[in-house]
Every structure is written in structure tokens, then in C-alpha cells.
Chain A
């Protein structure tokens, strides 16, 4: 019969093995075959066990911007509100490739620190960049914030139906509310 000590040692071995497996999964982001986004999409299924490996990639100066951003997207999803969140805010500020996700992910996690970064990114985005503008408007709604009246005028003047629909649905003016 196993002693308690044996059982706990065996459990610790299993935990260490799970940590190593999680790290190996996160390091799949290093493979450059066009599938990195698909890897990042799947990593949150592992939960917070990926956070140390995610931070390792973020902190590694050899990591490309794509790797850091994708690692951070997975990290924020599983609760890394520190390094991963900072990377996403940086992605917003520099209007990188993953801005729609960089806006939505902190918003979904109700991170109020993202509001000013999202507002700034929205101000710098041409109305014709519909996907980014709609993502920012959705993120602001999720954070309980609204575009300023000046910003709203600029967006409405662009006459993009997706943008005007998003404004009407998510940021109705007081006179428009039912």
C-alpha cells in the first residue's frame, strides 16, 4: 500500500510533468509555419498553468513582436493581468496587427486600465478601418465607456454602415435610447 508520502511525491511528479507539458505547448508559438495564431487560440484551454511559460516568451528579447502579442493574448485570457496585459496595451498603442483582439480581450476581462489606450487608438484610426473601429467601439461598450461627442461626429461622418450601426446599438445618444 502506498504511504501518504509516496502518494504526495507521485502527485508532485505529475504536477511537474503537467507544467513541462504546458511549457512545451506554449513554445509551439516558436514554430514559424503560419500556424501561430491557431496555437495561441488553443492555449487558454490549459488554464493558468501556461502563465509562467507565456511570461518567459514575453520577456525573452529574442521573441518577435508576433510571438509576444500572441503569447499575451493567451496569457490575458487565462488571467495574467500583468505582463500579458502590458503587451496588449502596447499593441493597442502601436496599432499592431492584433489590435482588434488587443482591445476586446482586456475589455472582456473588465480591465479599466485599457479604456484610455482604446480611446487613443480609436482617435488615431481612420473610419475606413472598419474592423478596428468596430472592435474599439465594442470594447468601450464592454468597459462601460463611450466615445466623445467629437469622436462620434468624426465616425459618423465616415458613413460606414458597420460603424454607424455599432454606434447606434452600443453607444446610443440619450435621445436615441428606448
Chain B
């Protein structure tokens, strides 16, 4: 999970471990929704690297966007 926006470059996405076809879509949701239903963990916030423990369920609006 990342706070890099949908316009993140392929290089930025590779740097956080998102490779190949996974770079083509973004699933966005609000931090407030995620924090209350799971637990957002800032692994290396300066690089946009976050995680949520699995399995978890995020309640709230999720928007799926095709980015490239």
C-alpha cells in the first residue's frame, strides 16, 4: 500500500515492489476507512511504503482506476 498517487512513475512503483501488470491499476480508499477497519502501518513513509496486515476487510468506498 502506498500514498504515491495514481500518477506515480513506473520507477517509483518498482521501488515499492509493484511490478508489471500490477502497475496498471490503482485501488484508492481513504486512510480513515482503512485505519478503523484494519491498521495502516507506515513501513518507510518517506518512500511511500505502507502496509496493512492481512487478511483484512476495508469498509468504505474503494475506487479502482486504470492508470496506464
Contacts and interface: CB of A to CB of B under 8 A. Distances in A.
A34 interface: yes
Given A161-B32, A162-B35, A165-B35, A34 B43 contact: no
Interface residues on B, range: 10 to 19
A147 B33 CA distance: 26
Interface in B12-62: 14-17, 31-32, 35-36, 40-47, 49
Contacts of B43: 100-101
Contact of A100 (B11, B14, B36, B45): B45
Nearest to B12: A34
B49 A135 contact: no
A98 B43 CA distance: 8
A97 interface: yes
Q: Is the interface of A mostly helix, strand, loop or mixed?
A: helix
Interface residues on A, range: 10 to 19
Interface string B1-17: 00000000001001111
A132 interface: yes
Given A34-B11, A34-B15, A35-B15, A132 B47 contact: no
20 contacts: A34-B14, A35-B15, A37-B15, A37-B44, A37-B47, A38-B16, A38-B17, A97-B44, A98-B44, A100-B42, A101-B43, A101-B44, A131-B42, A131-B45, A132-B42, A134-B42, A135-B41, A161-B32, A162-B31, A162-B35
Given A37-B44, A101-B43, A161-B32, 5 more contacts: A35-B14, A41-B17, A131-B42, A131-B45, A135-B41
